[in-house]
Amino acid sequence: MNILRTPDDRFENLPDFPFEPHYVELGDGIRVHYLDERPERPSGETVLLLHGEPTWSYLYRHVIPPLVAAGHRCVAPDLVGFGRSDKPADRFAYTYQSHVDWLWETVFDRLDLRDVTMVCHDWGGLLGLRLLAEHPDRFRRVVATNTVLHTGDQGDMGPFYAQWLQHSQRVRPFSAGQIVATGTVTDLDPAVVAAYDAPFPEEDHAQGARRFPLLIPITPADEAAPANRKAWEVLESLDTPFLCAFSDRDFVLGQAHTAFRERVPGAKGLPHTTIVGGGHFVQEDQGPRLAQVVDDFIRSAAR
């Protein structure tokens, strides 16, 4: 496998990003980057923060400090193909199952995380909820924000998905920063936009980001559909506390919380939250507010 690595100097002097990088190497030789921020006075809780398309752990830079201040360890990996993690040059190396396997090997085989509170956003949910369904014993609770778990049975994906699919495959150059800017309510500083573009210095580094839109199951015959359908069967029987914290101005997945709230037993009776003033990338618009929701949930569920 031809594996690319973004030069370290692309990540120098990023705004509001003082965190030290950490790495693990997977069995196939891919190096995965993650943040691991630990409090001085630990609460005993570990929060796993999963990003989606086309972002990286930089997305959580305003979520991590309040959670660490509250006593919680925060682990935020970069998915393979994103951030400081390695990037296979062959776009067909990126499959739904390979992403699930890479993430599992990273957070559980290598980091051996247990009893985690998972915060999953966008593709972080499409992957993280698979891990939850396949290994629920590793999770203490879940916060789902602006995410979904498609099975291919949902019917027409609508005009936005069609437009996004075309854009993701045809646009030159691929600018993750511009995509994030489009999905936020606030105006992003050019330096922040550049930080989201940092992982992709050349077109061949962006193959993973271009592939994600093509991996969403859109028909029952999709190769990922059976595994996701099976995952939903588990989620529908799972009493792990499951909180939805979606934003009010997400034009992508704004109503996707309904399925979780209605079908997951662990979601029943919880104080599901609508984060006001947030777009799809709610961490950019309302990062500290999301952190407060997560901390409140940890403390209430710990009682």
* Active centre residues (catalytic): 122, 250, 280
Q: Which two tokens stand for residue 245?
A: 């914290």
User: Which of 33, 77, 27, 81 lies closest to 214, judged by CA?
Assistant: 81
- Pairwise CA distance, residues 206 & 176, whole Å: 9
Question: Residue for token digits 């396997």?
Answer: 101
Neighbours of 288 (CB within 10 A): 13
Residue 275 three-state SS: strand
- Pairwise CA distance, residues 301 & 141, whole Å: 8
DSSP string, 239-254: -S-EEEEEETT-TTTT
- Pairwise CA distance, residues 107 & 34, whole Å: 9
Neighbours of 18 (CB within 10 A): 8
User: Contacts for 150-153 with beta carbons within 8 Å, 24 or more apart?
Assistant: 150/126, 150/216, 150/217, 150/218, 150/228, 151/217, 151/220, 151/225, 151/228, 151/229, 151/232, 152/217, 152/218, 152/219, 152/220, 152/221, 152/222, 152/224, 152/225, 152/228, 152/229, 153/220, 153/225, 153/229
